[in-house]
Amino acid sequence: MKTTNLKGIDKAAILFSVLGENLSLSLFKSFSEDQLIKIRIRSKELEPIPSKVKKDVLEEYYFKLMSDKYRNEADTSENLFSFLENLTEEQLSYLLSNEKPRVIALALEQIDETKKLNILNKFDAEKKNRIILEIGNLGDIPLEAVVEVAKDIKKKTAFLPEPKEFSRGGGKSVALILNTMDEDEASLYLEQLSRENPELYAEVRKFYLTFEDLLSMPHEAMQALWSNPDIDVDKLAISLKSYDEETVSEIVEFLPKKKQAMFESLEKSVSKREVTKARKDIVGIARKMEKEGVFSIEDIMGNEEMVE
């Protein structure tokens, strides 16, 4: 029996004999059931098969397999994982969530550091540790395996949902809600947050200002705010209603001289609604100045600890 005289079905039958039925079936996925039956029968008909013929057929098959593989690689981009670059963190997390730590490690190593760390932090501590360990041992993965992993992950991206613009809440969203509330009501929520969720409270305080905050700012921030020409002395008088004389005097000292002369403490009674409105207007001026970079929330909060 000579290899050069063998037909295609004979070579397939010899491979079937050499590799065994289970492995052969995984290799011959494109064959129909009828073709597989013929290969099985032909495999038995050819027995006994000389060792040299088996070796030659196996080498020929391996050479063809590798030629096809690297031809396909040549058709892909230089970066096998370039398709990951256009995925959002949300999509990447979803894509990799059920993969083995080694596959996750290989995929994460292909993306930028910020995304990598953010996605890593979405896993529980045990899996995160295993992924990190795998990242340190990626050098022993053969090229063929890297190519196969890249192809497998790329196929799965076809089933990813499209990225959508949406908010996941957080401190800024809570602050925006508090800004729409009455100051007393907002204070109750803040107090509850400080007790039950200190981390969220600290995050909210990065975005939420109260009138009370404006009365205890560091000297430089005080000077910048109260000398602002948009500050109306009449509204300031209303907003300071119910504060003691010492507090009022401290604030008035930061006003320009002309406005100091115009300022008069409010003696008559005013409604709570008027006071709330006046305070909101002044807080609005402070927020605008913060957005313009005149000072930061951290400046306004002074020594209060800001958690990053």
Closest CA to 211 of 177, 236, 233, 245: 236
- Average pLDDT over the chain reads 82
- DSSP class of residue 271 equals -
- DSSP class of residue 140 equals G
Domain span holding position 30: 3-75
Do 301 and 205 contact (CB within 8 A), yes or no? Answer: yes
| 28 compared with 188, residue with greater pLDDT | 188
Q: Which of 122, 157, 192 is the last residue of a domain?
A: 157
Q: What is the pLDDT of residues 104-143, one digit of tens each?
A: 999 999 988 888 888 998 898 899 889 988 888 887 788 8
Q: What is the pLDDT of residues 39-87, one digit of tens each?
A: 888 878 878 877 887 777 777 766 665 555 544 544 444 578 888 888 8
Task: Give yes or no for residue 281 having a pLDDT over 90.
Answer: yes
Determine the Cα–Cα distance for residues 200 and 306; give it in Å rounded to an integer. Answer: 11
Residues 123 and 71 reside in one and the same domain: no
Q: What is the pLDDT of residue 308?
A: 36
Please indicate, yes or no, whether the overall pTM of this predicted structure exceeds 0.85.
Answer: no
Residue 31 lies in a domain: yes
Residue 174 lies in a domain: no
| 120 compared with 161, residue with greater pLDDT | 120
Residue 38 lies in a domain: yes
Count up the domains in the chain and report the number.
3
Q: What is the pLDDT of residue 249?
A: 94
Report residue 305's pLDDT band, with 50, 70 and 90 as the boundaries.
very low
Q: What is the DSSP string of 81-138?
A: TGGGGGS-HHHHHHHHTTS-HHHHHHHHTTS-HHHHHHHHTTS-HHHHHHHHHHHTTG
Share of the chain above pLDDT 70, in %: 85
Report residue 89's pLDDT band, with 50, 70 and 90 as the boundaries.
confident
Report residue 285's pLDDT band, with 50, 70 and 90 as the boundaries.
very high
CATH number of the domain within which 94 lies: 1.10.220.30
